[in-house]
């Protein structure tokens, strides 16, 4: 039976509306409720569904991340003499301690401002977790956060406190829009009220289903994030449901099967890979796939696999996205996209990271940027149905081609996509070696003619997962703070470790330079620090 080649946008938007009703913050009760909705929908399509349950308890470890505490919010408000801000659960910093405080606003813009913060309600526009901790240390009575550039949107700010952090976290914390923050002049009286409670535990829900036989092409989407969270990430979760509905009718799984995974971001994917796992060929992560160029300022973006996990999947999905995004030709015959589109080298940002860390080549399809990102106005009205259809059909086509690919088609793709990758980088012999390792893995997983290229790495990653100073410093002494808080360094560090698992030390650095143009300063020193504390070890 042929694969249905059309995504039903009305179905996707219906699923978005259903999922967006839930306040899906990790550690809260509505996240498991959203997972049950997904499970029940899948069952109507005839799937056998696994609902896997971990826990949020503030003490367990989900890979390299310590679990946040379980938390429930009942009511939150910010009051000034002439205005009240309430109505959205995002007015509370997620996992804020409960409390009611009245005091004078004290903006923090320099180190000197902290010296007179005692007894005041501080106003902070960045580094919220670090500044919240400082506010507690300096004796502030309340904490107000805003995000620069958010306009009228109340930003999603999460503290995600762990049990040990409750020993110092005491003051109530709220978030306001940038517009509201501009009215909070120094000395202005403000009242904060957060009615919430910390619970002993809450379920960490994971929904998993599959078709065909392993190895599977794993399609993932994170189900979490606050209400409404339409693009981030009800859009990816809803599109994944529509993909499952279509693929349930498909029977030509010859080389690979397909699996579907809904997880809480990072905590869920790390818990899944450590405790459940499976035999996976590769993965496509759907995160924020419904952005609009006109309304949200978004473009169609593909984050490719890292070169350490090179796979034809990246190029194949890129081509399918380009084909589905086709919107006529220029005067000279050049194909024109409907929505601006690009692909970029691997970078951190979502659950594709965790799959790559565990040796599964993973890409991310995303619409980025999005001016409604992480605010209370990330609503369904801002989604673009044609974008959802573009991404969905591209994924369907990719599944179809991979599930039936033969030696002849693979050779054509291999030649084309390796040549493309060499043209994007600064080729060296080490790069060709890494690409050959990826092609050899593709061939093995797809059941094609084998190509013997064995990985010969120099590193072993013992404590595997997202490398976060906040979490790792709870478990290891001597963790370097500054480089682990720099996004560029962190991306290259994770890729350098993954390269170190497949090729030698010198080759790893050469490929990294090929991939990113230059190696970030301090990278080798950071790697050595992780070796010293035992997160990594040399083979």
- Report in angstroms the alpha-carbon separations of 66 from 168, 205, 398, 479, 529: 17, 16, 36, 16, 21
- Report in angstroms the alpha-carbon separations of 140 from 84, 196, 451: 22, 20, 63
Q: Beta strands 142-145 and 299-303: pairing type?
A: unpaired
- How high is the pLDDT of residue 4? 52
pTM: 0.97
pLDDT in tens, 3-48: 455 899 999 999 999 999 999 999 999 999 999 999 999 999 999 9
Q: Which residue has the tokens 């194909």?
A: 335
- State the alpha helices, DSSP H only, in 288-351: 293-296, 312-324
Entry field: residues in the chain:
539
Domain 9-57+203-404 matching CATH 3.40.630.10: the answer reads yes
Distance of alpha carbon 502 from alpha carbon 487, whole angstroms:
23
Long-range contacts of 506-510 (CB under 8 A, 24+ apart): 506/430, 507/430, 507/433, 507/434, 508/458, 508/459, 510/428, 510/430, 510/431
Every domain of the chain and the residues it spans:
9-57+203-404, 70-199, 455-538
Domain 70-199 matching CATH 3.30.1600.10: the answer reads no
- How high is the pLDDT of residue 193? 98
Distance of alpha carbon 314 from alpha carbon 67, whole angstroms:
32
Q: Quick check: helix, strand or coil at residue 363?
A: strand
Q: Which of 429, 376, 459 is nearest to 178 (CA)?
A: 376
Helix count and strand count (H, E) for the chain: 18, 21
Residue 1 — pLDDT band, cuts 50, 70, 90? very low
Question: Rounded mean pLDDT of 345-364?
Answer: 98
- The answer to whether domain 9-57+203-404 and domain 70-199 are alike in fold is no
pLDDT in tens, 33-43: 999 999 999 99
- Report in angstroms the alpha-carbon separations of 416 from 50, 125, 273, 307, 419: 39, 47, 32, 16, 5
pLDDT in tens, 217-257: 999 999 999 999 999 999 999 999 999 999 999 989 999 99
């Amino acid at each position: 039976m042929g694969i249905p080649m059309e995504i039903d946008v009305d179905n996707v938007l219906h699923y978005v509306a259903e999922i967006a009703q839930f306040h899906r913050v990790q550690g809260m009760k509505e996240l498991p409720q959203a997972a049950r909705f997904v499970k029940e929908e899948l069952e109507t399509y005839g799937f056998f569904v696994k609902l896997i349950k971990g826990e949020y308890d503030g003490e367990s470890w989900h890979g390299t991340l310590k679990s946040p505490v379980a938390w429930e919010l009942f009511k939150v408000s910010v009051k000034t003499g002439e205005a009240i801000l309430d109505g959205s659960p995002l007015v509370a910093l997620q996992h804020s301690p409960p409390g009611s405080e009245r005091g004078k606003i004290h903006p923090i813009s320099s180190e000197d401002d902290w010296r007179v913060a005692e007894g005041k309600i501080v106003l902070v526009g960045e580094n919220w977790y670090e500044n919240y901790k400082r506010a507690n240390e300096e004796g502030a009575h309340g904490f107000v956060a805003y995000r620069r550039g958010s306009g009228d949107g109340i930003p999603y700010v999460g503290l995600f406190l762990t049990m040990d952090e409750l020993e110092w976290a005491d003051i109530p914390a709220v978030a306001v829009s940038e517009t509201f923050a501009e009215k909070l002049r120094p000395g202005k009286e403000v009242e904060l009220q957060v009615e919430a409670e910390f619970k002993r535990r809450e379920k960490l829900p994971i929904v998993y289903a599959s078709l065909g036989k392993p190895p599977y092409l794993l399609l993932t989407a994170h189900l979490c994030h606050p209400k409404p969270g339409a693009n981030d990430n009800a859009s990816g979760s809803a599109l994944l449901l529509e993909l499952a509905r279509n693929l349930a009718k498909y029977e030509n799984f010859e080389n690979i099967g397909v699996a579907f995974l809904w997880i809480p971001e990072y905590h869920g994917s790390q818990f899944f890979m450590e405790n459940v796992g499976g035999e996976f060929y590769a993965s496509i992560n759907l995160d924020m796939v419904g952005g609009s160029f006109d309304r949200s300022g978004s473009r169609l973006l593909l984050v490719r696999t890292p070169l350490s996990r090179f796979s034809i999947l990246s190029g194949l999905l890129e081509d399918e996205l380009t084909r589905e995004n086709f919107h006529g030709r220029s005067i000279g015959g050049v194909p024109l996209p409907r929505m601006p589109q690009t692909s970029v080298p691997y970078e951190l940002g979502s659950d594709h990271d965790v799959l790559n860390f565990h040796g599964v080549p993973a890409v991310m399809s995303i619409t980025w940027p999005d001016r409604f990102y992480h605010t209370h106005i990330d609503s369904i009205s801002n989604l673009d149905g044609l974008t959802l259809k573009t991404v969905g059909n591209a994924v369907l086509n990719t599944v179809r081609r991979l599930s039936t690919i033969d030696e002849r088609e693979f050779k054509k793709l291999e030649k084309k996509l390796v040549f493309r990758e060499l043209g994007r980088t600064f080729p060296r012999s080490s790069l060709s070696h890494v690409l050959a390792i990826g092609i050899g893995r593709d061939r093995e997983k797809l059941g094609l003619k084998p190509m013997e290229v064995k990985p010969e790495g120099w590193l072993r990653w013992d404590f595997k997962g997202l490398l976060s100073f906040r979490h790792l410093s709870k478990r290891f002494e001597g963790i370097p703070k500054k480089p682990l808080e720099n996004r560029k360094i962190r991306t290259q560090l994770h890729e350098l470790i993954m390269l170190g698992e497949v090729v030698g030390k010198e080759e790893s650095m050469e490929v990294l330079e090929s991939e990113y143009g230059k190696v970030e300063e301090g990278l080798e020193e950071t790697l050595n620090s992780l070796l010293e504390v035992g997160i990594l070890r040399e083979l």
